[in-house]
């Protein structure tokens, strides 16, 4: 136990949890799919929060067509990059909370289904990359969330056991991934999170918070 905490490591989802990108992601994916003849709303994309890009494309196109998927992804990425330049990336109080957790001796990590290039670039642009002991992205041969691969890999790299870690995320996919990895889960309830559905899913939620700044208090009370 360190400074009142009963866990040794805190892992975070990236998009929608640390970085305020979900609205932009939903808008750009919706536009990209519509440009290729698929009518997919922003709300549809919110429901797929946390899933890898390839899974989202298969889900909404209904086909496995690498050339089509590459074109859709390129369109979405261009939209995202153009609009991201003028956007404040971090949710309020995220950096201050990360610094507080580090001060209390906790190991910090990111576990995301995003590509490694994108994850590292976004965290660096947000000014928090150096605060994490590990950034675990979706590497070749891994399955994306809700499979536990990225969480299991991050935990192994941090040198802790699953019961010594907590995963913080904003979606049902995150909650299921944490359950599959044997890790406690804290839900950051965002407007798209469908909190009641997550709580009713049986995936196991240790606590629900509305602001990442509530996390130190939750960790002190964690069983």
In 3D space, the residue among 201, 169, 200, 167 whose CA is nearest the CA of residue 183 turns out to be 167
CA distance 45 to 25: 8
User: What whole-number distance in Å separates Cα of residue 216 and Cα of residue 219?
Assistant: 5
Segments of the chain assigned to CATH 3.40.50.1000 = 9-20+89-221
The Cα 171–Cα 111 span in angstroms is 13
Q: Measure the CA–CA gap between 22 and 36, rounded to whole angstroms.
A: 21
**Which residue shows structure tokens 């890999």?**
153
3-class secondary-structure state, position 97: helix
Q: Is the dihedral of CA 57, 147, 46, 11 positive or negative?
A: negative
Question: Which of 171, 23, 167 is CA-nearest to residue 88?
Answer: 23
What's residue 4's pLDDT? 43
What are 155's two structure tokens? 């935990």
What pLDDT is attached to residue 223?
63
CATH 1.10.150.240 maps onto the chain at 22-84
**What kind of fold does domain 22-84 have according to CATH?**
DNA polymerase; domain 1 (1.10.150)
Per-residue pLDDT, 41 = 93
Parallel, antiparallel or unpaired: strands 107-111 and 134-136 = parallel
* pLDDT for position 148: 97
What are the C-alpha distances in Å from 157 to residues 39, 74, 78, 102, 204? 41, 32, 33, 17, 24
**Mind listing the pLDDT tens digit of every residue in the chain (223 residues)?**
344 447 999 999 999 999 999 889 999 999 999 999 999 999 999 888 888 888 899 999 999 899 999 999 999 999 988 888 766 789 999 999 999 999 999 999 999 999 899 999 999 999 999 999 999 999 989 999 999 999 999 999 999 999 999 999 999 999 999 999 999 999 999 988 888 989 999 999 999 999 999 999 999 887 6
pLDDT for the residue numbered 106: 97
Q: Which CATH superfamily is domain 9-20+89-221 in?
A: HAD superfamily/HAD-like (3.40.50.1000)
Contact 4/213 with Cβ under 8 angstroms?
A: no
């Amino acid at each position: 136990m360190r400074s009142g905490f009963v866990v040794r490591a805190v892992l975070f989802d990236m998009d929608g949890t640390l970085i305020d990108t979900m609205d932009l992601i939903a808008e750009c994916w919706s536009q990209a799919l519509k440009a290729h003849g698929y009518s997919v709303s922003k709300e549809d994309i919110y429901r797929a929060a946390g899933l890898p890009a390839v899974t989202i494309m298969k889900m909404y196109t209904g086909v496995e067509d690498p050339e089509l998927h590459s074109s859709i992804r390129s369109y979405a990425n261009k939209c995202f990059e153009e609009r991201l330049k003028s956007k404040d990336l971090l949710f309020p109080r995220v950096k201050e909370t990360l610094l507080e957790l580090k001060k209390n001796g906790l190991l910090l990590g990111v576990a995301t289904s995003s590509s490694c290039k994108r994850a590292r670039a976004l965290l660096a642009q947000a000014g928090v990359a150096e605060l994490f002991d590990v950034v675990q992205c979706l590497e070749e041969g891994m399955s994306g969330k809700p499979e536990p691969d990225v969480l299991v890999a991050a935990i192994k790299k941090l040198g802790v056991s699953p019961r010594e870690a907590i995963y913080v995320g904003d979606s049902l996919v995150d909650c299921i991934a944490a359950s599959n990895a044997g890790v406690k889960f804290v839900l950051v309830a965002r407007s798209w999170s469908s909190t009641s559905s997550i709580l009713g899913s049986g995936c196991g939620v240790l606590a629900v918070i509305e602001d990442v700044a509530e996390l130190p208090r939750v960790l002190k009370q964690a069983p």
